[in-house]
Structures are given as structure tokens and as C-alpha cells.
Chains A and B, each alone.
Chain A
């Protein structure tokens, strides 16, 4: 069966510090991968998605970036965090963009 892992579960970082969140999927090949963010009091916002290794599409311009160095690994990064980057970050995978998505446990990021 397929499983999706995300870490860390929680993170408190000062403004201006770098960020690296990692997501890995097991039990499937060539999945579509997604990064979402839920800011306080708001809905789920798609940040990045990837349909293959090295292929990243950005939905919202910001100071975040994503990379997919391996088929089942998706990384969300920032060189310098802003206060507005605080939120709950979810990684998800799907067979294709039209099929249901399976979400990881999420990372709660607080930028102080």
C-alpha cells in the first residue's frame, strides 16, 4: 500500500532563516506531487506541483521554491523566511492530476 511521509511535524523558525520541508511517498511510481499551505483562517492553497523528476510548476509567486530530486521525493525550501510564511504545509500525491489526492500528516511552521 502507498504511504506518504512528511517531516518535521512542527517547526519554529526566525524570520530570515532558511527552510527545508521534505515529503516522500512509498508504494507507487511516478506520482504527481503537491505542496499546499493553509494560512491562519484561510483555505488550502496550492503552492507547487510536479508531474515528474525535475518538473515543478508554481501556482503562486512567493519566496518559496520546490524541488523533486527523486521520483518520490518532494522538497519545499526557502532561503529567507517571512512572517507570512507561517502556516500548515501539506504534501500530497495522486496518480494523475484528475484523481483523488492523498495527503501527508503536515508540518506546522511558525515564523517568529
Chain B
């Protein structure tokens, strides 16, 4: 089982603020990293799948970067909106594990 750490655990921001959070994972034998958004009373929804060092993905106001050599990924939200309130989960896959290992998530609350 991979050691996956996400920080911060929770975050409160004002509407319009930009924010970012971190996912740390073992850099050895890296294969891919997934980001999911989990809104209350809904199911987790895939945001990005990242595989290459230096990868940068974007979906609307949300973007993510990946550094496989040092074992971290950042998720950025520009101009946060109340509907961005959710728990953001990262899940790396190693070449040997072949399955996702989820971090405990960053719970984001955007205050209007």
C-alpha cells in the first residue's frame, strides 16, 4: 500500500480566492496519478489522470501539475466558487500496485 499524503486536511476560502493543495506520494515506480472531486451526497468524480513528469492538466478553473521525480502533485483552483466546495482526493498508481491508493483528501469550503 502506497503512503499518500494530502495537505491541508481542510481549507476555508472566500469566494473569488484562488487556492491550491498538495498530494505527496512515493516517487519510485510511479505509473499514474488520479485526482477526484467528491461533493457531499454525491459520488467521487474524476478530474484528471496524469502520467508524465511535468504534466499539466486543466478543466475550467481547476488545474493540476505533476512532479514524478520528487513525488508530488498540486491542484489549483482559480477564483473559487461555492460550488467548488468538496473533498479533493488524489490517488497514485505504482507500476507494481496496479490499483489506486487514495489519500485522505483535502476538504475545501468556499464561503460566499
Q: Which residues of A contact B (CB under 8 A)?
A: 34, 36, 42-46, 49, 59, 90, 97-106
Contacts and interface: CB of A to CB of B under 8 A. Distances in A.
Interface in B79-101: 89, 91, 93, 98-101
Interface size class of B (residues with CB under 8 A): 20 to 34
B102 A104 contact: no
Interface residues of chain B: helix, strand, loop or mixed (majority): loop
B99 A103 contact: no
Contact of A106 (B34, B43, B101, B102): B43
Contact of B49 (A43, A44, A99, A106): A99
Q: Which 6 A-B pairs have the closest CB atoms?
A: A100-B46, A103-B43, A43-B104, A44-B102, A103-B44, A97-B98
A38 B41 CA distance: 13
6 contacts: A42-B104, A43-B105, A46-B99, A97-B93, A100-B49, A106-B43
Contact of B43 (A46, A49, A59, A90): A90
Interface of B: 1, 31-32, 34, 43-46, 49, 89, 91, 93, 98-105
Contact of A44 (B31, B44, B45): B44
B107 to A, nearest CB: 11
Nearest to B97: A97
